[in-house]
Structure 1
């Protein structure tokens, strides 16, 4: 399988022992030439006409263009899986850490330094994937990158009734944004505590909602929502990257 390429990589140090990175990931591009056939085959002899390269229409397309939807979905998952691991290596290289990821048990850790590792990926089309990674020396961490909104009927199905009641009091746009960030917080805690999906999405984080609303209205690119004794974790929004990190 072709190795994906990373671009728009950005690194953030969250505390002295915790770093994260986000990036876009794409498939290698293949070159296509479209023009009238310049070659003819006569008596097993290939006879070429003179070629003027300025006559060609140069077009780029991704390898997934002609794949079936099912194969494309599988290819996308593989690209994302490779992408997050490439991003981890980029982060380790930047920090001058030589280590290897241990994937034999969860949560993931680096073999020698024992840093905890967590991945996330998202996409809004087959050709537009985003990946994120966080490492921390202190304890298990979570990260979630999400480019798509969370439909209100989906939130109503999974969220705690107290959260739904509070979200319903918000204006529609504010409610949509808060519901999405709350989903990302839940996903991050699922990774930290290894909850089952329904269990994790059903946890009650209503006390975070007012902080999400206030901080989002400030519209900063890096916002710490809350750090309290109830959770025992610090939650940070990287709004410009549509990413939530918990450490």
Structure 2
């Protein structure tokens, strides 16, 4: 397996308040994987390589954000939430999956994979923050397996296009709170955030590139960036 130079493109930096910044980017890489066995082995190799690139990509983006903030430090990954070793600032990562399907070359043992993943990182000076970046919608039947009855009932009352957007944003903010509170997946996805649906709809209808919602029950704020496909809890 050979990995070429890692490249971050479309890097964007955003300051949410005096103690919270986040960055988004796309990490692109062409991989050439050579296997002497089955396509199943190739698929496993691609998935493994994807994880390696995503891991490297988000850490490279963190370093670029630290450079921009003129912070000299390294990441402590020994426990959650992640923190900087010296400053003790909180760090959280997110990334999407593979966007392009694998292509098999003329050699049946060679699989070429083009990756174009969106990645994100948030740094918070005073308390844990969560971030989630996702370009694809969440399948409705999957959401119904996890969401609370209150959420489902409110979502069913929406037009399909609005419902799909709110389902995705709810999923993202649940992911953020999972990262902040270290919930298990089913526990975190089952939390009832139906009280936020009206505020999410209000923000969507403003057609703004970013809007912020106050989550009074937890004393957190929720930043939703439509152009960056990103939700940040800070």
TM-score, normalising length: structure 1: 0.83
Show the counterpart of 2:208: 220
Show the counterpart of 1:122: 96
CA offsets per residue over residues 125-165 of structure 1, 9 Å max, x none?
Answer: 15210100000111000000001110000010010111001
Show the counterpart of 1:169: 157
| Equivalent-residue separation in structure 2 for 1:172 and 1:10 (angstroms) | 31
**For this pair of structures, how many residues does the alignment match?**
212
Show the counterpart of 1:232: 219
Show the counterpart of 1:157: 145
Matched, 1:111 2:99: no
| Equivalent-residue separation in structure 2 for 1:238 and 1:232 (angstroms) | 20
Matched, 1:13 2:1: no
More relative contact order, 1 or 2 (CA 8 Å, 6+ apart): 2
Shift of 1:235: 0.3
Show the counterpart of 1:87: 61
Classify 1:161/1:139 alpha carbon distance in 2 versus 1 (closer, same or farther; 3 Å).
Answer: same
Structure 1 gaps, min length 5: 28-61
TM-score, normalising length: structure 2: 0.87
Q: Is the 8 A contact 1:123 1:147 kept in 2?
A: no
Q: Is the 8 A contact 2:178 2:184 kept in 1?
A: yes
Q: Is the 8 A contact 2:14 2:21 kept in 1?
A: yes
Q: Is the 8 A contact 1:124 1:147 kept in 2?
A: no
CA offsets per residue over residues 51-106 of structure 1, 9 Å max, x none?
Answer: xxxxxxxxxxx224767222111111111111000000000001110000000011
Max radius of gyration: which structure?
Answer: 1
| Equivalent-residue separation in structure 2 for 1:197 and 1:236 (angstroms) | 22
Counterpart secondary structure, 2:61: helix
| Equivalent-residue separation in structure 1 for 2:224 and 2:157 (angstroms) | 23
Matched, 1:75 2:75: no
Shift of 1:2: 4.1
Shift of 1:3: 4.6
Q: Is the 8 A contact 1:3 1:82 kept in 2?
A: no
Structure 2 gaps, min length 5: 36-41, 101-114
